[in-house]
A and B are shown apart, each in its own frame.
Chain A
Amino acid sequence: MALLDVKDLRTSFRTEDGVVRAVEGVNFTVEKGQTLGIVGESGCGKSVTCLTIMGLNPKRNTVVGGEALWKGNDLLTMKPSDLRAVRGDEISMIFQDPMTSLNPVHTIGRQLIEAVLLHRDVTKRVARQRALELLKAVGIPRAETRIDDYPHQFSGGMRQRVMIAMALINDPDLLIADEPTTALDVTTQAQILALMKTLQEDFGSAIIMITHDLGVVAEIADDVLVMYAANVVEQAEVHDLFNRPQHPYTWGLMGSLPRLEADVERLTQIPGQPPSLLRPPNGCRFHPRCPYVMEICKTTVPALKPTARDPDHLEKCHLDEETKEREAAKLLAATMAEAG
């Protein structure tokens, strides 16, 4: 049995302007110790997918459908007290902005200890010992004294380390990381990613890594979900995705990765912006921005279907196999040329 099995997950928000369908029919599984990357631009439903699994969307205006089976039990219909027992213990989460994700009026020690005491029947002294252990594991220097400091006394990178320590403190089976490196500078990003990889080996947690950065995915993920406008447009094992990308949106994302080619002055970009989820376009949602757009794309929604070559590689596009293979090969050749 998969650790987490998400089936036809749907989330919509009632707003004053109408209903926003933020996630529409997402399926994936996460196996023990594996890493799933979810990629896409801002506002395409990556974070909402994970917040829905955790039950952290505002209750008042959210409608949720589908299933999220955690070790066989549906998180979406679980009793609130049962869900709380899972949150922070079996599944924990790291957020995008470490500057605002820690409570400014409590010491980090207190916040770490709180996380332990919520799920373990231990004394404060034991919890504090555990907190110290974790702070050392994530590489906070002078942890014995730093544990009594407040969040504002830490830098962004250090705060994210504290967040990671807090997420791992109860030895979770699954760690959901929502753009954990986006708010950090580049060198710190690399350190945090390396840290997460090491810790995954030590703790054996599965990871869902939400990011808009394909570089991060290449580095850390086993499987990848590419999301666009509330839908999954491509889903594959990581090498397969990079070697044989099948969807024009994925090509666009890959094309906009910076490369060290001398003859390119500007990065390729995907023209336009993701559509409003209040009134998404008819047919394929990517068609207004797609360079390969055909008549059928404007009227008919393509199905998410396996490619001919690999039944585990799913894509959602009307283009014929031949064109896809050709474009993927071209993209790969360009990457190779620059690498070689």
Chain B
Amino acid sequence: MFRYLVRRILWAALLFLVITFVTFVIFYVGPNNPARAVCGGDQAKRECLVRATAKLGLDKPMPVQYYKFLKQLVVHQDLGESFATSQSVNQRIKEAAPVTASLVFGGAVLWMMIGLSVGIFSALKPRSLIDRSAMVFVLIGVSAHPIWIGLIFEYVFGVKLGWTPIANYANFFGAPPDSGLPGGPWQWFYHLILPWCTFALLFAALYVRMIRANVMETLNEDYVRTARAKGAPEGQVIRSHVLRNALLPVVTMLGMDIGIALGGAIFTETVYQLPGLGQTAIIGIGNQDLAIVQGVVVFATLAIIVFNLIVDLLYAWIDPRIRLT
């Protein structure tokens, strides 16, 4: 177990190096000139460009810049300063991450509630009206683009019916005083209802389909027949023998999906103007702001690595056939 963890962490470190390096390379291969962006684009003055280039360290060769970035990150846990605004990247991530996390975890709760209830019911009553309706829902869910869904929701529930706000985020722990912004748990919830629904729709559809298929497959297993032959009532057969086995792969999927989504739910954040990691990354890319982009990449990579590790540990715990060595 201990050896397993050590090996996993070493792999994670290697993966981390590769991903950040690739981000660097891609950034420099493209026609980017961050100094120009800092000095106001086309009207940039020459001395401004020179000063900005030196300040951002862009006059050094790329490997040296990468080395400086790594050293700062490892020694000081510091992601540097934004090229465009000189704001600390750590600070920026710290502000954006809770927004994305609120969206992703709330969305995951929603899509799991839908996925489990509809998926299991559809599997137990295949070809029933509910099953057929669920399959239509799945088709819409996987086909419709989140931006389109988001715009429709905004228009119908926000503008036409006036039930919900159509944009912005409210801090769970209250807005800063005198900012005039909404805050507190209720406002947080109220502002996130539509984003959650939009974000969860695609995953809910995928999970309904997956859970339905898994449960139907497990229902045909020999050990389910054994349980019935023992005289177990149907409810106990489903709970104790079908679901436990059918939901094992769902745990893996959930962990991986949450890990990936924490890197930024770009479409949903864009539609509802939520200042999360996805929006931060998009603004960073627009400003040719390598520090910000790299910051989001680092955070996303960490989230994925951590959640995959959690999934593996959890899996070893719930499935007795798997031993971590």
Query: Which residues of chain A have a CB within 8 Å of any CB of chain B?
Result: 54, 56, 60, 81, 84-89, 92-93, 95, 97, 100-107, 114-115, 118-119, 150, 152, 163, 166
Contact = CB atoms under 8 A, between A and B. Distances in A.
A87 B223 contact: no
Contact of A105 (B126, B225, B230, B319): B319
A88 B245 contact: no
B228 to A, nearest CB: 6
Interface of B: 126, 221-223, 225-233, 240-241, 244-245, 248, 318-321
A333 B186 CA distance: 92
Contacts of B223: 100-104
A149 B233 CA distance: 25
A84 to B, nearest CB: 5
Given A54-B229, A86-B231, A101-B226, 12 more contacts: A56-B225, A87-B228, A92-B229, A95-B229, A101-B223, A102-B226, A105-B248, A105-B318, A114-B232, A114-B240, A119-B231, A152-B321
Contacts of B225: 56, 95, 101
A114 B229 CA distance: 12
The 7 A-B pairs at the shortest CB distance, nearest first, are namely A88-B231, A88-B230, A87-B231, A100-B222, A103-B223, A150-B320, A101-B222
A87 B320 contact: no
12 contacts: A84-B232, A88-B230, A95-B222, A100-B222, A102-B223, A104-B321, A105-B245, A105-B248, A107-B320, A163-B226, A166-B226, A166-B230
A97 B222 contact: yes
Contacts of A93: 229
B228 A56 contact: yes
A118 B229 CA distance: 11
B33 to A, nearest CB: 58
A218 to B, nearest CB: 27
B231 A84 contact: yes
Nearest to A149: B320
Given A104-B245, A105-B320, A87 B226 contact: no
A92 to B, nearest CB: 7
Nearest to B245: A105
B218 to A, nearest CB: 10
